[in-house]
Structure 1
Amino acid sequence: MITITIYLYTGEGAGKTTNALGAALRSIGHGHKVVIIQFMKWWKKTGEKKIEDKLKPEYEIHQFGKEGRKSLGDLEEKDRKLAEEGLEYAKKAVKEKEPDLLVLDEINLAVHCDLLNVNEVIQFLGEIPEEMDVFLTGRYAPEELIETADSVTKILDVKNPNEMITKKGIQY
């Protein structure tokens, strides 16, 4: 019996999106279709965005974030509208594109910041076909999403250098 599995990655540590992208790459390697929806992200120069043309048609990624957003302190109504558009696109993609794996990147944070309603997200998750797997990522996952998920991983920073240097191909 095949059933939907909802994986949730949360926590203060780095690597939540990277874990979901690793699962996406593995899934593509088995000939599966993957759709990634990124909430609150807009930057086109990330590796996961730049690889899209090479991995099509099995891989597609869509960003729903306000260009230029720098921090959670500068959220506004436009951010809410973009997050809602992202959720609507995810609903449409599930029905029309029928991916094997759906990644809802930063959805936990979008719910935490009140850009999306947690009950609406849970309702959507309940409507996903049984054969599809879903990854939810982002800090501050609300308890309701943690309870809904089948598998929850909390990423914790144990040690970091005094000054973190971001490297192309590693952090973005």
Structure 2
Amino acid sequence: MSDPAPNEDARHAAKMAKKKAARDKIMATKEGEKGLIIVHTGPGKGKSSSGFGMILRCIAHEMPSAVVQFIKGAWQTGERTLIEENFPDLCQFYAMGEGFTWETQDKARDIAAAQKGWEKAKELIRDPEIKMVLLDEINIALRYDYLDIAEVVDFLQTEKPPMTHVVLTGRNAKEELIEIADLVTEMTLIKHPFRSGVKGQKGVEF
């Protein structure tokens, strides 16, 4: 009985060659570059983690970048420690928040912190030397109307330098922000250990 493997290998190679040709054809039409507005939202875990992953890519490519944290400022997270201790020349880091809104229980203070963070964010985004700005958890500040969504949208559309990437994270992203974004990813929650009584752990949550 003959071995069918050679025929299977040939069919697989032909299939992959066809896929590659189709992919190459698509890629040939993609020539432009632009600074992107990127939104990570949804109830699932990974929004900030993904944003910091892109910041680390920028650092690896020696592209100046910056982070403004709107909520988790009271936490000494692993990514903050890594960046501040090892890459301060490539990534500016500003922790502007004082914790989650249910921890501060002071709306006026939360609004003031969010406004201060937004002013710093605008300063960083306006700097054409900075190639990516991560606005971590800004969607929470927008959700509670601590910031004016119309002002944020207008700024991103009119003042962001053409080649600057801006990443905005946090659940419940406003529709106005989603509308102007170039890339929107929604993290879907399927399972989370917190629901089984497991607390947030170092290296996973922070």
Q: Same fold (TM over 0.5)?
A: yes
Measured in 2, the distance between the counterparts of 1:23 and 1:155 equals 16
Instruction: Tell me, yes or no, if the aligned pair for 2:128 and 2:161 is still in contact at 8 Å.
Output: no
What does 1:37-76 align with in structure 2 at a 5 Å threshold? 37-51=68-82, 52-66=84-98, 69=100, 71=102, 74-76=105-107
Amino acid at match of 2:203: G
Measured in 2, the distance between the counterparts of 1:72 and 1:149 equals 31
What does 1:51-130 align with in structure 2 at a 5 Å threshold? 51=82, 52-66=84-98, 69=100, 71=102, 74-96=105-127, 98-126=129-157, 127-130=159-162
Instruction: Tell me, yes or no, if the aligned pair for 2:96 and 2:117 is still in contact at 8 Å.
Output: yes
- Name structure 1 gaps, 5 residues minimum: none
Shift of 1:94: 2.4
Measured in 2, the distance between the counterparts of 1:170 and 1:76 equals 29
Cα deviation digits, residues 31-88 of structure 1 (max 9, x gap) = 111100111222242112211121121112101112x556278241111111111111
Q: Aligned residue for 1:140?
A: 172
More helix by share: 2
Cα deviation digits, residues 79-125 of structure 1 (max 9, x gap) = 11111111111111223473110101111111001100001111121
Q: 1:94 to 1:65 in 2, by over 3 A?
A: same
Q: 1:97 to 1:4 in 2, by over 3 A?
A: closer
Amino acid at match of 2:134: V
Greater relative CO (CA pairs within 8 A, separation 6+): 1
Instruction: Tell me, yes or no, if the aligned pair for 1:6 and 1:134 is still in contact at 8 Å.
Output: yes
Q: How many residues align?
A: 171
TM-score by length of 2: 0.77
Structure number, greater radius of gyration: 2
Instruction: Tell me, yes or no, if the aligned pair for 1:44 and 1:50 is still in contact at 8 Å.
Output: no
TM-score by length of 1: 0.91
What does 1:25-36 align with in structure 2 at a 5 Å threshold? 25-36=56-67
Q: 1:72 to 1:151 in 2, by over 3 A?
A: farther
Instruction: Tell me, yes or no, if the aligned pair for 2:69 and 2:135 is still in contact at 8 Å.
Output: yes
1:16 equivalent in alignment to 2:16:
no
